Structure formats: C-alpha cells, structure tokens
C-alpha cells in the first residue's frame, strides 16, 4: 500500500473515512467507512457511477450506514485505529485495477470498483444488493473516462 500512488482526491476520501471511523469510536478502519464517505460526497461521483451501473445509491448508503451502526464502539481509547484486513485487500485490489487500466495513480473510481470487487469486504455485498456488479461499475467508469488515464496525483 503506497498512498503516494493515490490521487489527491482519493487520499482525501481515505483520510475522511479514517477520521469518521475515529469519530464514531470504531477501533477498525473498514471498507464500509470508505464507501460511506464516497457516497456522502457532495459532488456525487460514486453515487453517479452507481446509478450509471444500474444500481441504487440511496440503498447502498442506507445499507452502509446500517453496517457501520452495527460495528462495536469503544470510548476513551487512545485515538488509534487499526486497518481491518478487508480494507488492506481493498487497497491492494484498487492498485491492481488502476494498473490494469493503465493508470499511474489510484483514483476514486478505482477505489469504488475495489469496494465492489473485494469479496472479503461487506461493501461487495452492499453494492451487489443495491444492484451493482463489478462489471457494470467498470463499464460505467470506462464510459465516463473515455480512455483517459490518471497519470498524476491531481488527475481527478
């Protein structure tokens, strides 16, 4: 996991997700935290991609919020958060997806795609339940990208 190979926007979402996890008193940083911040984005990139892929972004958000509410909370902790194993796998999958697509940097779209692909992450089921498959999401990404690649940290 080399976050230097993530776009500034993707890194910002990851940091927001970590901050959100800490604020909620969660000890583990899970893929659901990432999906939540992507779906909460006022610019609506993730929600737009989900809809283009034939899915329901509102349903995905509702299920993500339910999954996060079910996570155990701790209070008075050291303010430390641990990377859940599925989250590490999501980052690895996002990096592979970016490389396969010819991107030098991992974009928000590839992060969302990894959340749909990685079967160990609850997010894959959440997105599938909302009507999104990795294939339909990848097609939606390719449609908006129109062959462009992410070759800098500010590519988005």
Give residue-wise pLDDT tens across range 98-118: 999 999 999 999 999 999 999
The answer to whether residue 154 is domain-embedded is no
The answer to whether residue 151 is domain-embedded is no
Domain enclosing residue 77, as ranges: 3-144
SS3 83: strand
The answer to whether residue 12 is domain-embedded is yes
Are 90 and 121 a contacting pair, CB within 8 Å? yes
Give residue for tokens 């990096």: 95
- Does residue 126 carry a pLDDT above 90? yes
The answer to whether residue 40 is domain-embedded is yes
Distance separating alpha carbons of residues 5 and 41, to the nearest angstrom: 21
User: Residue 21 sits in a domain of what CATH number?
Assistant: 1.10.1780.10
The answer to whether residue 150 is domain-embedded is no
- pLDDT confidence bin for 138, thresholds 50/70/90: very high
The answer to whether residue 63 is domain-embedded is yes
> pTM value?
0.92
Q: Which residue has the higher pLDDT, 154 or 123?
A: 123
Q: Which of 26-30, 32-36, 75-79, 85-89 has the lowest mean pLDDT?
A: 75-79
Quote the number of domains for the chain.
Answer: 1
- pLDDT confidence bin for 5, thresholds 50/70/90: very high
Q: Which residue has the higher pLDDT, 38 or 101?
A: 38
Nearest residue to 119 via CA among 130, 110, 131, 128: 128
Give residue-wise pLDDT tens across range 39-88: 999 899 999 999 999 999 999 999 999 999 999 988 776 778 899 999 99
The answer to whether residue 68 is domain-embedded is yes
């Amino acid at each position: 996991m080399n976050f230097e190979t993530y776009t500034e926007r993707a890194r910002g979402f990851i940091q927001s997700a970590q901050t959100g996890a800490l604020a909620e008193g969660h000890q583990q940083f899970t893929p659901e935290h990432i999906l939540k911040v992507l779906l909460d984005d006022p610019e609506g990139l993730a929600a737009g991609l989900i809809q283009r892929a034939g899915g329901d972004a509102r349903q995905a958000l509702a299920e993500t919020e339910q999954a996060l509410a079910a996570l155990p909370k701790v209070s008075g902790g050291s303010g430390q958060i641990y990377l859940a194993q599925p989250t590490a796998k999501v980052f690895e999958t996002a990096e592979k997806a970016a490389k396969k697509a010819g991107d030098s940097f991992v974009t928000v779209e590839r992060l969302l795609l990894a959340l749909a692909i990685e079967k160990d992450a609850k997010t894959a089921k959440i997105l599938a339940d909302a009507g999104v498959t990795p294939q339909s999401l990848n097609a939606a990404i390719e449609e908006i990208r129109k062959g462009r690649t992410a070759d800098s940290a500010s590519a988005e």
